[in-house]
Amino acid sequence: MNRRYSGIGMTSQRTRGRLIERLREQGIQDEVVLAAMNAVPRHIFVDEALASRAYDDVSLPLGFGQTISQPYTVARMIEILRDGRPLKRVLEIGTGCGYQAAVLAQVAEEVYSVERVQPLYERAAEYLKELQAHNVTLRYADGNMGLPEVAPFDGIIMAAAATHVPPTLLKQLAVGGRMVLPLGAQEQYLCLIERDAQGYRETRLETVKFVPLLMGKA
């Protein structure tokens, strides 16, 4: 196993356990999500110079104008997406370093994740291979388009803020499915979209801060 994965100190179970307790204190109640967060070694997804902060509840820079989301935000969005139910096929827009995809892999049968920045896509592929996350499929593509060839998804999660809900992604959400995304330009908030037989229902949740959703590949 890679030395970064099996290191000591910051990677210890005690350090990770303290993070899980903080998440509980902040209101994360889904034990399946908490177990998933506990199972994924966040330190392997960040630059080694920042590894000592890997289990702090903060976002950290990845380069290319991107960040790894703070653990609370990852846990909160996945808790909303799950809503206490098993997840079969999930689409993630914005793989970044692959951390959230690795957590999703613990709670969903199949995870498809799209990244538009090629060096990040390649890095995430390496990390997820190291973790043996065999149920994650990565695609280097424009996330605005989703993945119509493998739709529908019973969960869609976005790691970048859109100014509006992308209609292409709405079409790829299964009936009974949920989509969680940050919306807004200057002021952003988490938005939950639920699809039923009658159509779509939108719920505005708490304020957040994400990098913007961009078009095309880079």
**Catalytic positions, please?**
69
- Rounded distance between C-alpha atoms, residue 207 and residue 201, angstroms: 19
* Cα end-to-end span (Å), the chain: 32
Are 109 and 153 contacting, i.e. CB atoms less than 8 angstroms apart? no
Cα angle: 96, vertex 112, 5; to 5 degrees: 55
* The dihedral sign for the CA sequence 116, 174, 149, 75: positive
Q: Which two tokens stand for residue 175?
A: 């009936």
Alpha helices in the chain (DSSP H): 13-25, 31-39, 71-82, 99-107, 118-130, 167-171
Beta strand pairing call for 173-183 and 153-158:
parallel
Residue 215 identity (one-letter amino acid): M
Give yes or no for a contact between 213 and 103, defined as CB atoms under 8 angstroms apart: no
Strands in the chain per DSSP E: 60-63, 66-68, 87-93, 108-115, 136-140, 153-158, 173-183, 188-196, 199-208
